[in-house]
């Protein structure tokens, strides 16, 4: 769901400049919450359904990776038969977990969130921007920009992660050595 959160964050960030640039005349400004129809149109333009589906798929893949890593760590010497059985279990359970993801319910539940943060006038302006050629260009480019920005961020963070992991490993080894020295010798 990290991808979904990133998408929502960037959608809101991108909406800010649009709102600050366009100044409607005071007689057309509505401070009423947007209608459900307006929010649904916004979600369509912003491709929220597709982005959530993509985020769920990414989450599924990441979770499978974590589960596989746990299995290989717990049973490093698993036989091919055990590995095949594990793969079957994972496939079955994950299919059950993700096959009935309530996307329509999630989208419906998101409507009040948008209504609490935007007015009718806000969404009119946001929609005007994102349905324009430049708005469509922003929407098309944003996944690539987000991915590239993530790689840049991670390249800065990775050396720190490596150092932390090294420090943790060193401390665990020292703790293990200290505990071994405290233990009485085992009878042979």
pLDDT tens-digit readout, 101-135: 899 999 999 999 999 999 999 999 999 999 999 99
Kindly state whether residue 49 falls inside one of the protein's structural domains: yes
Q: What angle do CA 31, 105, 15 make, to 5 degrees?
A: 40
Asked if residue 55 belongs to a domain, the reply is yes
Residue 171 lies in a domain: no
Q: Does the pLDDT at position 174 exceed 60?
A: yes
In a domain, 158, yes or no: no
Residue 161, in any domain of the structure = no
The answer to the question of residue 152 being in a domain is no
- Tally of domains within the chain: 1
Q: Which domain holds residue 73?
A: 2-14+31-131
Flag whether 163 is in a domain.
no
Q: Is-contact 19 125, C-beta < 8 A? A: yes
Q: Is residue 82 part of a domain?
A: yes
Q: Express as a percent the part of the chain with pLDDT over 90.
A: 34
Burial of 100 (0-12, 13-18, 19+ CB in 10 A): exposed
């Amino acid at each position: 769901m990290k991808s979904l959160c990133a998408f929502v964050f960037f959608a809101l960030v991108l909406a800010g400049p649009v709102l600050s640039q366009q100044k409607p005349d005071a007689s057309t400004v509505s401070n009423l919450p947007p209608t459900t129809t307006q929010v649904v149109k916004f979600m369509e333009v912003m491709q929220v359904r597709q982005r959530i589906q993509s985020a769920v798929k990414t989450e599924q893949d990441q979770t499978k990776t974590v589960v596989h890593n746990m299995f290989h760590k717990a049973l490093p010497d698993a036989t091919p038969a055990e590995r095949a059985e594990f793969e079957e279990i994972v496939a079955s359970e994950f299919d059950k977990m993700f096959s009935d993801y309530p996307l329509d319910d999630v989208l419906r539940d998101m409507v009040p969130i948008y209504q609490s943060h935007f007015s009718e006038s806000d969404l009119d302006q946001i929609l005007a921007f994102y349905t324009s050629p430049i708005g469509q260009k922003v929407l098309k480019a944003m996944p690539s920009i987000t991915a590239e920005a993530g790689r840049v961020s991670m390249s800065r963070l990775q050396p720190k992660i490596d150092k932390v992991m090294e420090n943790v490993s060193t401390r665990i080894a020292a703790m293990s050595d200290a505990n071994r020295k405290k233990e009485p010798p085992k009878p042979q």
